[in-house]
């Protein structure tokens, strides 16, 4: 059986924001690495639009873990990306490439993702693009 987390990451890797949104509850809580919490699909959609403008990323070496009751999950993966457009407070973008390990944690209710928390080493990323 394919998990909702697999569907979410498959959609991510092909740049299908609507496919990602289809995996989320309307009241999704999106905890961004070293940032705040975005609530709801509209804020998640805006985040995705910003990311698509500034970064091109693909996730590989995906390992997904699920709790026995299917209500919690986690994924570990490698992010390979290109920094396309300068993001506020970050180094200038000039098409730099980067590769770093990352992970996400999920809460799932009624077959949809209600929480995503993503972590990666921002210092490592900054070093790679500086």
Q: Which pLDDT score is estimated for 83?
A: 97
Instruction: Convert the pLDDT of each residue in 111-124 to its tens digit.
Output: 999 999 999 999 99
Closest CA to 8 of 101, 88, 74, 55: 74
Q: Break the chain into its structural domains and give their ranges.
A: 4-129
| Selection from 41, 36, 48 nearest residue 11 by Cα | 48
Helix (H) or strand (E) holding 74: strand 72-83
pLDDT of res. 76: 97
Please name the fold of domain 4-129.
Nuclear Transport Factor 2; Chain: A, (3.10.450)
Mean pLDDT of 77-94: 96
pTM tops 0.85: yes
What pLDDT is stored for residue 34 in this prediction? 85
Please check the confidence at residue 25 and state whether its pLDDT lies above 70: yes
> Residue with structure tokens 């709790």?
67
Cα 92 from Cα 76, distance rounded (Å): 28
8 Å CB contact between 113 and 24:
yes
């Amino acid at each position: 059986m394919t998990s909702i987390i697999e569907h979410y990451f498959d959609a991510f890797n092909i740049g299908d924001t609507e496919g990602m949104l289809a995996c989320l509850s309307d009241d999704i809580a999106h905890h961004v690495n070293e940032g705040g919490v975005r609530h709801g699909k509209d804020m998640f959609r805006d985040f995705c639009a910003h990311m698509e403008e500034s970064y091109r990323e693909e996730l590989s070496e995906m390992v997904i873990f699920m709790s026995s009751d299917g209500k919690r999950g986690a994924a570990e993966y490698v992010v390979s990306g290109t920094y396309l457009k300068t993001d506020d407070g970050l180094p200038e973008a000039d098409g730099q490439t980067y590769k770093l390990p990352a992970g996400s944690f999920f809460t799932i209710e009624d077959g949809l993702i209600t929480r995503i928390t993503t972590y990666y080493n921002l210092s490592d990323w900054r070093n790679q693009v500086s």
